[in-house]
Amino acid sequence: MYKVILTLVAIITIYLAIHIYKKIIKDDNNKIIKNLETYAKKEKIKQQQSEILGQKPVKRKSNKKKRARVHHI
């Protein structure tokens, strides 16, 4: 009888642990989805602003080309 009770307690404990773990994962997934939605909204706003200005923002990481000066003699 004692072993049966311990087995049932172990099964219930495992079931509760799995249930809590699933809830945590579901909450994390919801947070990730919300973050992706807010990121998409921000990107859409950036694109709309660039359309309003008539140009897209350009991020230049390389140095601009320098002009070669030519002197006529």
Q: What is the pLDDT of residues 12-45, one digit of tens each?
A: 999 999 999 999 999 999 999 999 999 999 988 8
pLDDT of residue 2: 84
CB 22 within 8 Å of CB 15:
no
Spatial neighbors of 56 by CB under 8 A, at least 6 apart, are 50
Higher pLDDT, 14 or 59: 14
Above 60 in pLDDT, residue 66? no
Distances (CA, A) of 29 to 22, 33, 60, 68: 10, 6, 35, 56
- Residue 14 has a pLDDT of 95
What pLDDT, on the 0 to 100 scale, is given for residue 16?
A: 94
pTM, two decimal places = 0.49
